[in-house]
Structure 1
Amino acid sequence: MQSARLKSRALLIVDMQEGLFNGPDKPYEQERILANVKQLIANARKAQAPIFAVRHTGPVGSPIEPGSPLTQLLPDMALDPNRDRIFDKTRPNAFAGTGLADWLKGAAIDELVVAGMKTEYCVDTTCRAAADLGLRPVLVADAHTCMDTPVLPARAIIEHHNRTLSGAFVTLVATADCAF
């Protein structure tokens, strides 16, 4: 039973794109998060698990219009558009209007490993939506990030979301413990 569960996992990388990751406001523990995401990609590749990467886009004419420099995924992740499914979204929920749910269903995926940014927006919303769709979301506690806000430092936002989402919405794991 354990091996069947692992074969049905996919990795979803949320909004690890130039305009957010390398913008004027730096993400919390930026380099550690990128290293952990890259490790997840390597683990998924080794297990031949599907990799999905989503980037946030805005309307044509905006700084984040589809194809703009700010929407480009980080090259350090070495994603392969011939092998990995790369798609755009316009809302915090990576499932809304994207076809992600259908792709996962078509690949018989029932567990979705989630990493990326921003914790309090797209990561949180996507995890909750995945659970609502009957998937078992797995949030990688040390592979999602955000920026400090006027109200809370990023570290507190991340810790709060890890605690809030764990159990009710996601299974929480560390990068080192995330198998595919």
Structure 2
Amino acid sequence: MPAALLIIDMQVGLFHGQEKPYRGEQVLANIQRLVAQARVNQVPIFAVRHTGPDGSPIAAGSPFWQLLPALELDAEIDTLFDKSRPNAFHGTDLAQQLKAAQIEDLYVVGMKSQFCIDSTCRSAADLGFRPLLLSDAHTCMDTATLSAEVIINHHNATLGAAFARLIDSAAVRF
């Protein structure tokens, strides 16, 4: 099945902000491994940045808006795009690009589990793609109500039950 890797919101300001993502370095290492594997197997990589309004810390072009340099993404070979809503398909041409490339399996990684990961997995399924959620390659921060670990576990269980196939990053074979 034609596959693609979708990296969501792995941005300087979200990853290195005041609140640290749960198991951030481990998640980053897992995503870096997936990027390397995708490159070797010529699997397309799509990376999206959440873009805030002018004046926000993640406004287009700001230092915090940039994708993490550690991902070693390359605008010449990877598809880098912006979104302003949690769902990476909303207001973007992601679905059209995936369909044009005949992508069926969409490996989803990044931040934040309860917002952009959740809404993008649900939307991908509704649009006819087969989202594969990498259980150990998405993260978020603690909230006033729930710990990040609980949020991640809940989303793995919920999304894995009805919207995405749950897979560990070590099991990926592009």
Query: Under TM normalisation by the shorter chain, which class is it?
Result: over 0.9
Q: Deviations over 1:95-121 (max 9, x none)?
A: 011100011011000110000000000
Q: Deviations over 1:143-162 (max 9, x none)?
A: 00000011111001000000
Q: Distance in 1 between matches of 2:105 and 2:74?
A: 22
Q: Deviations over 1:129-174 (max 9, x none)?
A: 0001000000000000000011111001000000011131000000
**TM-score between both structures, scaled by the size of structure 2:** 0.98
> Out of 135, 147, 158, which is 2:141 matched to?
147
> Out of 128, 153, 156, which is 1:162 matched to?
156
Q: 5+ residue gaps in structure 2?
A: none
Give the letter for the 1:65 counterpart.
Answer: A
> Out of 32, 43, 61, which is 2:37 matched to?
43
Runs of 4+ in structure 1 displaced over 6 angstroms? none
Which residue of 2 is the match for residue 26 of structure 1?
20
Deviation at 1:43, TM superposition (A): 1.0
Q: Distance in 2 between matches of 1:13 and 1:112?
A: 10
Other structure's SS at 2:163 match = coil
Alpha-carbon RMSD:
0.7
> Out of 94, 102, 112, which is 1:108 matched to?
102
Q: Distance in 2 between matches of 1:60 and 1:151?
A: 29
Q: 5+ residue gaps in structure 1?
A: none
Q: Distance in 2 between matches of 1:135 and 1:23?
A: 32
